[in-house]
Amino acid sequence: MAILSVLLMFLVDAVSAVSSYFVTGHDRTRSGEKGRAVIELISREVTPAVIDTRMQFVILPGEELSDVGALDVAVNSPGMIWMAPLGPGGELRCVGYYLTGNKDRKQYRLKRIYVKHDNPHGYFPNLVDFNNARSIENRTSPVDAGWLTDNWDADAFDDVSDSNDRVMISTVSDGVVAFWIRALDSLGNPVPLLSSSTAHPASDLIYNSAAYFYMANGEAFDDGSSFVYLRKNRLTMKANRLPESVELAIVMVSEDSIGRGGAIPVQENVLAGSGALDLDASIRQYTEKLKDAGFIRPEVFRTRVKLTKGG
């Protein structure tokens, strides 16, 4: 009986270990499939982004979305909003992505904004006013994202209430705990954050197609730079240019691990000396913080997306 008890103890330990490895492997496979699908979806929708003097492409701090009603926006995370011909027959849609995090409910979700041109609540940006062609509501700003967001409200972001018929967002994936977006110029160099510029009028945005800047075409400027922000004067004009490409990165942790584990740390955003996001350092520091918090195998998914109309 003693020998049998010892053998049974070893057998239980072995089965528990195998079960644990199976669950871990299953979690990683599931989050891996989700991660690749998320990156592919964003890439597919941002590739055809369009811009002109009446339209805007922005990368903005998540707090800017909180200000217009978004719930539980993850601390230090960005959002990205643009216009693209994704509707039937190439109709324009307003599209965006941002990250939410609720540590009390242990919910970390990547959200998608999608607004049709005929939205009955006025959430679609104003492209033209036939009664007043000079209306300021049609003008993009060099310092804020108001052309895109001024008509949004808390109901537009409330996807929890069953009675809310005004919601314009949806959940793309659970388990996304960090999200980075980096704009690249025509030479493939990271664009400095607009908010880090000392020349440009003050702005909290990360990238704004309607800001005052020059972007090199084909070769660097005489001083070796390839992107420069401009001071405002009577001759300065808005650039109205998309980045050549954008780099996207997400970090995912399985929902089971989030449920079993400790607190998810706040996202890291490390800046290089140029004022641009250092994506490698940001990912490295954040994944180390995750491991210190007990999340042993966070998964990172990243890609670089060439914009068809970029540069």
CA torsion through residues 201, 267, 303, 224, sign: positive
The structure's pTM equals: 0.88
What's the pLDDT at 19? 44
Name the average pLDDT for the chain.
Answer: 91
Average the pLDDT over 192-221 and give the result: 97
Q: How many CB atoms lie within 10 A of CB 112?
A: 18
Residue extents of the structural domains in the chain: 2-306
Per DSSP, which regions of 85-216 are E strands?
93-102, 107-115, 169-174, 176-184, 207-208, 213-215
Nearest to 290 by CA among 232, 233, 250, 230: 250
H helix or E strand, kind and range, residue 286 = helix 279-292
181 has pLDDT over 70: yes
Using an 8 Å Cβ cutoff, are 149 and 124 in contact? no
Per residue in 31-88, pLDDT (tens digit) is 578 899 999 999 999 999 999 999 999 999 999 999 999 999 999 999 999 999 999 9
Least confident of 175-184, 202-211, 253-262, 285-294: 253-262
Per residue in 4-18, pLDDT (tens digit) is 776 667 665 654 444
Per residue in 94-152, pLDDT (tens digit) is 999 999 999 999 999 999 999 999 999 999 999 876 667 667 667 899 999 999 999 99
Per DSSP, which regions of the chain are E strands?
58-61, 78-84, 93-102, 107-115, 169-174, 176-184, 207-208, 213-215, 227-229, 245-252, 299-306
Write out the two tokens for 18: 């195998």
d(C-alpha 292, C-alpha 46), whole Å: 34
Write out the two tokens for 154: 């808390």
